[in-house]
């Protein structure tokens, strides 16, 4: 019956955090070296210095290891970014600015490599798409907090959907164009096109 918020983190929590991190690191490294499917959970567990059985007390599936970073990271970062926005601008403009602010964190080589891995399987592609839906939900929640006067959430939900779509297509276009325009370029273009949807 004690609040966990002020405990200085004993050895238990520390080791658990370290092991969790070690699994993600070694797992990612193995995925990159041998591909996703060719990497077995036994390999990850052995490389992380734990038993196969213990692996499953940290992650529910192999996919979760690959999605550990971006999967929970981006939605949470977006939640925070939205929380410190004002309601001065339009919902779409607010979303655009948040995206630009966050995009830089995910322009690393590792993110690009993970993204390539996320194309290698039907299930992984599906999981990646699910991530966009989670982002959409997070964005809609953030918008609802900024503009609570909206009697019906549908408008904001649609705006969030459109914004995430613009983000998704921006990422897609940038990959296909293969000349290194910054993400902001595609983002601006797509949001402008959104505004004049006939």
Partner DNA sequence: CGATATAATTGCACTCAGTGCATATTTATT
Partner DNA sequence: AATAAATATGCACTGAGTGCAATTATATCG
Long-range CB contacts (< 8 A, 24+ apart) of 156-162? Answer: 156/91, 159/91, 159/92, 159/95, 160/91, 160/95, 160/136, 161/136, 162/92, 162/194
Toward DNA, which CB reaches closer, 79 or 127? 127
Binding flag, residue 113, DNA (CB under 7 A)? no
173 binds, among a second copy, DNA, none (CB under 5 to 8 A by kind): a second copy
What three-state secondary structure class fits 91?
Answer: helix
- The residue with tokens 């959430």 is 153
C-alpha to C-alpha distance for 100 and 96, rounded to whole angstroms: 6
Binding flag, residue 53, DNA (CB under 7 A)? yes
Toward a second copy, which CB reaches closer, 13 or 192? 192
Question: Among the residues of 35-182, which ranges form H helices?
Answer: 41-48, 52-58, 62-66, 68-83, 91-103, 109-117, 122-146, 154-177
Binding flag, residue 173, a second copy (CB under 8 A)? yes
Residue of 3, 5, 86, 198 interacting with a second copy (CB under 8 A): 198
Report the site for a second copy in 100-159 (rule: CB under 8 A): 122-123, 125-127, 129-130, 133, 154-155, 157-159
Gyration radius from the chain CA atoms: 19
CB of 10 to DNA, least distance (A): 2
Residue of 115, 161, 184, 185 interacting with a second copy (CB under 8 A): 161
154 binds, among DNA, a second copy, none (CB under 5 to 8 A by kind): a second copy
User: Where does this chain bind DNA (CB under 7 A)?
Assistant: 10-13, 15-16, 19, 39-42, 49-54, 56-58, 60-63
């Amino acid at each position: 019956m004690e609040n966990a918020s002020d405990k200085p983190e004993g050895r238990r929590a520390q080791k658990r955090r370290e092991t969790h991190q070690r699994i993600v690191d070694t797992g990612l490294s193995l995925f990159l070296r041998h591909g996703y499917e060719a990497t077995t959970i036994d390999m990850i567990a052995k490389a992380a210095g734990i038993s196969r059985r213990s692996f499953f007390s940290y992650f529910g599936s192999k996919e979760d290891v690959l999605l550990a970073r971006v999967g929970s990271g981006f939605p949470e970062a977006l939640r925070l970014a939205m929380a410190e926005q004002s309601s001065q601008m339009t919902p779409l403009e607010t979303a655009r600015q948040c995206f630009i602010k966050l995009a830089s964190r995910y322009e690393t080589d590792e993110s690009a490599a993970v993204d390539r891995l996320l194309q290698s399987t039907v299930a992984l592609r599906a999981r990646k798409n699910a991530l966009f839906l989670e982002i959409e939900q997070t964005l809609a929640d953030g918008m609802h907090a900024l503009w609570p006067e909206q009697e019906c959430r549908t408008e904001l939900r649609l705006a969030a959907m459109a914004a995430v779509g613009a983000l998704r297509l921006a990422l897609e276009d940038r990959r296909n164009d293969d000349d290194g325009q910054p993400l902001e370029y595609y983002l601006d273009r797509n949001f402008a096109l959104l505004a004049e949807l006939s």
